[in-house]
Structure 1
Amino acid sequence: MPSSGPAELDAAGITDPALRAAYTTCRGLNARYGRTYFLATRLLPAARRPAVHALYGFARYADEIVDDLDDDSPVAERATRLDALDAALAGALAGEPPEEPVLIALADTAGRYRIPTAHFTDFMTSMRMDTEVTEYATFDELGVYVHGSAAVIGLQMLPVLGTVVPVAEAEGPAAALGVAFQLTNFLRDVGEDLDRGRVYLPTEELAAFGVDRELLLWCRRTRRPDPRVRRALAHLVAHTQAVYRRAEAGLAMLEPVSRACVRCAFRLYRDILDEIAAADYDVLHRRVAVSPSRRAAVAIPGLARALTARARRSPAPLGRPVRRPSAAPGA
C-alpha cells in the first residue's frame, strides 16, 4: 500500500479519521491499478487529488466485480453483487452513511463538487451491461456502453479539474476523452477481454476485414498473428486516434492548474496506440505498455508546467463539503 498522502488530505480539508481512511483506500486502488492515471494525478494541486482518487477507486471497485479473472463466480452472482452496490450507492448519494470505504469517499467527493448523480447511475448501468452483453455489432451500439463506462468519467472529473469556459462547453471534449481512453483499453486488452468472454471491438468493423471471434480466439490460443486481424486493429487504432483529436480541444478549456495532469494522461494513453502499432498489432497474446522512460519524459515536463501554473494562479476554491450529497444538482 502506498503512502496515504496525508498532505493531500490536509490540503483538501479532510480531517475526519474515517473519511481520511476511506480516501486512503481509494488512493491505494489508484496507485495499484491505474499507473498512468495515478502518475497524471500527481500533477494536480494536492487539494484536488483525493477527489480523483475517490472517483477512480469507486470505478475500479465496481469494475472488479464484473472483470476479476481470478473470481470464478457465476454471472448471476456478480449481477447480484452489482445490484447490492447500486443500492448502496443510491443510499450513499442520498445521505445514508455507507459502510464500504470507496462509497464513503465517493459520497463526500460528489457532495463537495456537486457532481450530478446521473453520472454515477449511468456508470452502473454500463457495469450491469457487462453481465448481460458479450459483444457489440456497431460503434453506435458500443456507444451506449461507453457512455456510461467512460464518457461519464470525463464528466465526473470536470468539476474537480475546473474550467475556464462554461461547463457545458467543455462537456463534449471531456466525454470524448473518456471514450478515447476506453477505446484504447479495448485495443490493448482485447486478449484479456476474450478470456472474460467479451469482444468490445465492434463485430461489423471486424467482419469488414474477415475477422470474427473465432479468429481472435485462435490468435490468442496459438500466440500467432494473422494479417486480417492486423488490418482490423490498424483500422480501429485510426478510429481511436480520431476520437483523441476531437477530445484535444478540451485541454485548453480546463483551468491552467489542471491542464498538465490531463495533458499527461492524454499523451500517455495515446502512446499506447503507438505501442500497439509498433508491435505490428500483435497484441492478442500480450499486453503492450508505455515504457518507464517514456512516462518520465512526459511527466517531468508536465510537472514543470504544473508548478508554473500554480505559481501564476492559485487553484480555484474547493467545493464546500456537505454532509448530504443529495443536495447536489442532478441528485
Structure 2
Amino acid sequence: VSGCCELIFTSTKGPWITNLSRPCSQGSLGLFVPPSPPLDPDKVKELQRFIGLSRKLLVMTGAGVSTESGIPDYRSDKVGLYARTERRPIQHSDFVRSAPVRQRYWARNFVGWPQFSSHQPNPAHWALSNWERLGKLHWLVTQNVDALHTKAGSQRLTELHGCMHRVLCLNCGEQTPRGVLQERFRVLNPTWSAEAQGLAPDGDVFLTEEQVQSFQVPPCVRCGGPLKPDVVFFGDTVNPNKVDFVHRRVKEADSLLVIGSSLQVYSGYRFILTAREKKLPIAIVNIGPTRSDDMACLKLNSRCGELLPLIDLTDFLLNLAAKGIDCLR
C-alpha cells in the first residue's frame, strides 16, 4: 500500500518550521516481516529519551529495515530465506572462479532485477532521512545493498556491503550502473525467458539449471573482464578503508542505535564491540534476539517502520530554535 508520510512541526518560534510530505511504501507487511508484540508505550518513551539525549547518534541498519518494503532477509524466524528454503546465498570464491556460477547468478539476477529495483523506502527509511535533515543523526551505516536509504534521501551514509545498483569489473574495476547492464542482458538474450521459482534477498530469484544454460553474460566493455555486483558476497571481506572510516564515525559518536539487524555477521558486529570499548550507550530495535542484546541498555522487539516514525523530535527542534539555530535552512 503506497501513500504519503507527512511530518508536521508546528510552533510560533520561527522559520525552521516545515511540512515534509513524500511518498512511501508499506511493502509486503506480513510476508517477510516476522510477528512482533504490540508496541510497549514505556519502551517507546525510553527510546525517545535515548535519542533525545544523543548529540552524535550513529545508526546501524540491517535487513529488518527493508523487509517492510517487500525485500526478504536471511535470518528472520519463519519468514527469512534460511527458514523458508534450503537455498543459501552465493559464495564469493565460487563466483570469482567459476564462469558457470556467474552465468547462473546473472540469469537469476536479470529476472529478479525489475522487481528488486522497484522497491521503495518505507516509513523507517523516511524517518532516518528526516533525522539527518534535522541534524539529529551523525552517521548512518547500513548492511543493506538495496539503495533504499539513498532513495529516501540519506546522505551521511556508508553502505557497508556495497550496493546492488552498481556493477564492478573484477579485472579493471570499472563501475557501471546496474540498469545499463540490464539493457545489455536484453540485447544479448532477445528470446530468452524464465519463470521465477521464488524471491531471494539480494535482487535475484530461483531458477532451474535448465533455465540458465542458454543465458548469455556480457563482459566488461572496457577490458572484457567478468562483471560482479558491487557488493560483498558471503566469504568476502569489507574494504579495509571503509572499515576504518566507519570505526572513526563510531568513535566520534556519543550513542549507537542498531535497527533491524541480528548482528550475526561480524562485519557489522565489530562496530558494536568498538562502541562497547568506548562505553557508548547502545540501543537495539530488532524483532528477535541479536548477538549484542547483552551489551544494550535498551532493546525493543518492534517493527522498524511502525516504531521510528513515533519518535518525536519536537523538543530537539525547540531547543535548536531557542539557540537561534535553523536546522532546516
- TM score, norm. by length of structure 2: 0.31
The structure in which a higher percent of residues are strand is: 2
The structure in which a higher percent of residues are helix is: 1
Higher Cα radius of gyration: 2
